Structure 1
């Protein structure tokens, strides 16, 4: 119990100061510990082996481009529909990675090489969703770099935008010292895309909108209120140009997600009351992705906690668990909030938090 109380205290301090790394709290570089890393998934080793494999000299027949495109579309769809989305895509990734690498290596014409590189970049993007918040940061960064190289080789604006969006998030989530790097990669990608936007298709518009929001997200982490909401407004203007039913398969950017983004912005600015108000608006639209729904519920729970409504926060985390158990299981903020309420002096809240803690894996039964 005493150990859990200390852990809960550290997590509350980390949340209040917006830091992820224990070294940022102590000032001691030797105490590098990511406070928000989740557990290692059982399929992590197989995915890592596929990424690390060179497959040089393999006799594997390369797939046809339309076949690999269809498999990737199915993989993204499966991810959005599954509560255990890491398990689902973790099972698919080794084969997808192998085949995308083989296709890229065997492409003959310039057009075929570009198409293959775009598919390889997309495969690495899917891998980054599996690898995020798992205890192998070096592997995540290696995949992010490979994805950017493949995207640049494709000359595909959408692929390049997605390949920038993912490491931009990774930089920001690495801690305050990396915020400038997050901004730099997002701004560079937007600088590349902006001249294309007047005639862009929906996917390019969506990735530009997603990058715009990411600049606001990082500004909110800095507690720069004006900049954060200004970028949210710009992203919302882009969302309004998209069809009402459009949903970007990688970034979730859409009209539907802008309410969730508003909740996140308010939470990161520590505006508890505003986060609760935005949550009421956001729930008017349904996010068509179980992992993204769960992430939104977690952000709402953080808002309720900031607003002094811990019982509502726990109830909202229960909804997140129902939407996608593997989202809450790997989300450091959710785990921290649960740990805090396990120590609550209010018996019914403590019991609900303990039950959720067992389900999520924060505590053992």
Structure 2
């Protein structure tokens, strides 16, 4: 009897890759994806989205996406859930102040407001909901101040406006229109350049690199990060401590970017960041906006290992890292998601579900809006062993995952 089972999209990708003579690493580099993503797609641990198929097709000799999905496969459009406050944030981002009058807030006030907003982002369990409430007013106040102030006060206000755009990017990264994310990056970079502040410019590049990496432009992200490093590095010895913090942040971003494109050189950048943090920052130092600190360096090590497809190394790196020491509720939730990804790589559904439940208990919105968490929950709800499937279905339902 003939086997009528249709090949999966993942098996089709693998067959076409082998026929084209590409390794996973080679195909990942050509398509702007990570080798781990290719592996997950081929083994069925990650759905083949329309966007990924479009990136892969030219390098697999495919002109009709039906050759990847097959005649009976429903296409995943990689739709991200919208947060309820996205419309309000969109209006604040696209409200052009043609006429501005009155007294602007002082740069000192704006710095306090921006710092408070970032503190809320890192301490709230519902950080996206609270940021969505704060952002419209924060964007309005910083936009007005940048228009009304002159001279040094205007430049300081512009630096705070850039930070408001960066927070908007962090809020929008997992939901909302991709065009809105690009808008925050462009506006943040413009404000930072107009502020003529090296730290503000480097921070804007750091945020831009995250989006470039997310859309498969990892090499471009690395080029921009190198430019930022060259701007900051000469100022570390004699400048305020924030310059050393920024340098460490840039190297951590470079490490993760390299890991996402399968480059083992990630560990060199990670090691440089660790050296800067241990040498130039106090032992208990915690950066206000990105939470640069000794525990965060260890968090990045786990992330790099997972993205390099090495769950054993991820476990080893995570062994001595107490999640309670991570100085951010949002980052702690994301750390549990990364550990879940490592367990998923090893084919351990019970551990994957346990870690996703820990992430949900830490920061429910991290699980609700994280594409990686949602993808794992979708597969667990469908394919987990019967003994834990009901737990997976329950967690997926609470996270708003459509089953």
TM-score (norm 2): 0.82
Residue in structure 2 matched with residue 3 of structure 1 by the alignment: none
* Bigger Rg, structure 1 or 2: 2
Residue in structure 1 matched with residue 229 of structure 2 by the alignment: 190
Residue in structure 1 matched with residue 184 of structure 2 by the alignment: 143
Q: How does 1:348-363 map to 2 (within 5 A)?
A: 348-363=387-402
Q: How does 1:1-365 map to 2 (within 5 A)?
A: 12-13=40-41, 21-27=52-58, 38-108=80-150, 110-175=151-216, 178-225=217-264, 227-240=265-278, 241-283=280-322, 286-363=325-402
Q: CA deviation at 1:292?
A: 0.5
Q: CA deviation at 1:344?
A: 2.3
State how far apart, in whole Å, the 1-side matches of 2:88 and 2:324 are: 37
Tell which has more relative contact order, 1 or 2 (C-alpha 8 A, sep 6+).
1
State how far apart, in whole Å, the 2-side matches of 1:137 and 1:88 are: 21
Tell me if structure 2 keeps the 8 A contact 1:8–1:340: no
Residues 328 and 202 (structure 1), Cα distance of their counterparts in 2 relative to 1, 3 Å cut = farther
Q: CA deviation at 1:139?
A: 1.2
CA RMSD, Structure 1 to Structure 2 (Å): 2.6
Tell me if structure 1 keeps the 8 A contact 2:92–2:140: yes
Q: CA deviation at 1:150?
A: 0.8
State how far apart, in whole Å, the 2-side matches of 1:76 and 1:305 are: 31
Deviations 1:340-361 (A, max 9, x none): 1112251122122111101111
Tell me if structure 2 keeps the 8 A contact 1:18–1:221: no
State how far apart, in whole Å, the 1-side matches of 2:276 and 2:237 are: 11
TM-score (norm 1): 0.90
Aligned length: 354
State how far apart, in whole Å, the 2-side matches of 1:197 and 1:18 are: 44
Q: CA deviation at 1:61?
A: 3.1
Residues 304 and 243 (structure 1), Cα distance of their counterparts in 2 relative to 1, 3 Å cut = same
Q: CA deviation at 1:63?
A: 1.2
Q: CA deviation at 1:246?
A: 1.7
Residues 83 and 127 (structure 1), Cα distance of their counterparts in 2 relative to 1, 3 Å cut = same
Deviations 1:225-279 (A, max 9, x none): 2x11111100101111212222223222211111111100100110011111111
